[in-house]
Amino acid sequence: MELRVLQEKGVDIQKDLIGIFFEDINYGADGGIYAEMIENRSFEFLDARGDKDKYFQIYDGLYGWKAYPNQEQASLKIEVKDALNTINPHYAVVKAKAGSGFTNKAYDGIYVEQGKSYRLSFWAKAEHPQELEIAAITKTDEKVKLATVQVTDRNWKKYEVICKTDTDVRNGLFAILLKEAGEVCFDCISMFPQDAVCGVFRKDLADKLQELQPGFIRFPGGCIVEGNELTNRYQWKHTVGPIEERKANWNRWAVHENCAENDYTSIYSHYNQTYGLGYYEYFMLCEYLGAKPLPVANVGLACQYQSTQLIERTDMAYQEFIQDVLDLIEFANGAEDTKWGALRASMGHKEPFGLEMIGIGNEQWQTERVDFFERYDDFEKAIHDKYPEIKLIGSAGPTVHTPTYEAAWKNYYEKCPEKENYTYAVDEHYYMEPEWFLANTHFYDKYDRSVKVFAGEYAAHDREESRLTHKNNWKCALAEAAFLTGVERNADVVYLSSYAPLFARIGYTQWAPDLIWFDDKESYGTPSFYVQKLFSRYTGAYTLESVMQEGEENQLFHVVSYNPEKKCMYIKLVNAAEKEQEVRLNLSDKWNDFVNQETVILTGELKAVNSITEPTKICPTERKEKRQDCIKVPAHTMMVVMLS
């Protein structure tokens, strides 16, 4: 098979074409990239239950906490009188005999490593001075000392100490023990590894995001932007300021798949959001990764899948949703002498974050009752009247090839010509079987170029697997790679794209497949992760016109791009066939002086998956050699050939 690379330039490729989408699902924030090791640190957790339009919560402030070693030696209760603050008013009172106290289960148990340091902080008060021992208690009830702290004040005071251990402890209990009999009040007990990136992010997960070199981060969702009901929607103003004053919330995914058969509850009913990972931290993560922030705003609608709740456009409360977005832009970009810019500066970031894009609604669609198109117009006018430079992302709803999808595109095609910056791109979502991705590599070929696309959530779901055990197998990743050749080839209409979801904690999963999996100790990238990495790292500034006759008929997909800075050509080849195929390069005279070749190969069995025990079963390999004009592409392989 011959691949002819022509002299003609194709289409420009946006630098931020390949990004990441973060939503707090599968314990991706608390218990995930947010490196907090304590669960329910402020004693505010809710037990969330119920079903569509009938959700309810039971306060369970001692969730994750227990008296130690038993209730005869120690007692533990919740109080609100003379609280640390009125935003999170509950705190714990422990009354214990000498050597006793209380413990935290810390998700799968506390994990501390020999030689590493951990930053512990908490607020406390006691009528009489009290020395505390901080410990990790092993499964065999051995106490491993981490630090000691002296509580000295009758009034609330913050205490901080560095914890260290001379032994590893895994699946243990975090413990605070009183050296002498007495009573102490505690609030906001927090523990982070000292190596947490920016003091906030779990290092191995942040490192994997850095591997991806994302052009943008879409956050904080996803459905949690909307909430199961508007009371638990994501409100950015609740997520800034000191962590002890960030109002805790129950997570929309805590009630996922509740039904009569499970009594409208689940093992994830205590899935809460402490908001320690809030908007300030999201902007910090974007800055750390060199990615553009793309926050998503609520437009007065709860999740249309989970609720019928909305705020009417005629209601004065609706204006608060619009004002929240205007205030967010000021928080991100405003000078220090503005209200919200001053808050950002007080948190430690005097310079603006440089926010350029905002999503208007998550996954909204127009119905007889839901007037999303009109809501978008309201937000667009208010934002662009004050901030005309901000690029807005619209929504085409949760699916493609549906009447609501068609109606959305009709709306944007009609309105975009009337106003130059009406919509920067329209957000499309599709979770399909691998065969769909292979059959739709030309999905964007015939899209009208007047309105751009954000492929905001997509993933191949192997229907041979049960719903919550969809595997991130090589079959799915290979199909996604083939599809992405079409995305890159159509980069003049597809400006942004991101796989979804990003993270999943093993044993805490509401949705699969996911890009990166982890437990309390380790993490690994899936085959889909490596596909995203290769497309992010090896894509030029523009495509080159190319022809490969009968390639796709033989399940061989390709795209060619050029990087003028590095003077390097990237040829991506995806062989989804059952057999090895040969590709003969036919370069136009303009490219014949390329002599050096470097090849990155991603290959394996279709059903192969990565795991904690085999994290690199599907992983890129590299080789360098003189240019080969005949390239052998093994069956079930993605290959990036770099010529320079």
Residues designated as active site: 363
Q: 357: which 2 tokens? A: 């894009």
Q: Are the C-beta atoms of 604 and 474 separated by less than 8 Å?
A: yes
Q: Which of 235, 248, 241, 395 has the alpha carbon at shortest distance from 328?
A: 235
Q: Are the C-beta atoms of 309 and 302 separated by less than 8 Å?
A: yes
Q: With helix as H, strand as E and coil as C, how does 244-263 read?
A: HHCCCEECHHHHCCCCHHHC
Residue carrying structure tokens 């030689």: 115
State how far the alpha carbon of 59 is from the alpha carbons of 45, 123, 269, 389, in Å: 6, 21, 11, 44
Q: Are the C-beta atoms of 301 and 364 separated by less than 8 Å?
A: yes
Q: 40: which 2 tokens? A: 């329910």
Q: Which of 277, 290, 294 has the alpha carbon at shortest distance from 212?
A: 290
Q: Which amino acid is at 8?
A: E
State the Cα–Cα distance between residues 240 and 281, nearest whole angstrom.
Answer: 9
Which residues are registered as beta bridge partners of 76?
94
State the Cα–Cα distance between residues 355 and 334, nearest whole angstrom.
Answer: 10
Q: Cβ of 554: how many Cβ atoms within 10 Å?
A: 14
Q: 330: which 2 tokens? A: 């000021």
The residue length of the chain stands at 644
Strand order in the sheet with 216-219: 20-21, 216-219, 292-297, 357-360, 391-395, 425-432, 453-460, 494-499
State the Cα–Cα distance between residues 269 and 253, nearest whole angstrom.
Answer: 9
In Å, how far from its chain's centre is CA 234? 14
Start-to-end CA distance of the chain, whole Å, equals 22
Q: What is the DSSP letter of 388?
A: T
Helix 279-289 vs helix 203-212: crossing angle, to nearest 10: 50
State the Cα–Cα distance between residues 423 and 246, nearest whole angstrom.
Answer: 33
Q: Where are the alpha helices (DSSP H) in 271-428?
A: 279-289, 318-333, 339-346, 372-386, 403-415
Helix (H) or strand (E) segment spanning residue 523: strand 523-525
Q: 638: which 2 tokens? A: 């993605």
Please give the torsion angle defined by the CA atoms of residues 379, 384, 385 and 386, in that order, rounded to the nearest 10 degrees. Answer: 100
Q: Where are the alpha helices (DSSP H) in 583-636?
A: none
- How does 392-429 read in b/e, with b if 16+ C-beta sit within 10 Å? bbbbbbbbbeeebbebbbebbeebbeeeeebbbbbbbb
Q: Cβ of 180: how many Cβ atoms within 10 Å?
A: 12
State the Cα–Cα distance between residues 602 and 475, nearest whole angstrom.
Answer: 12
State the Cα–Cα distance between residues 171 and 106, nearest whole angstrom.
Answer: 9
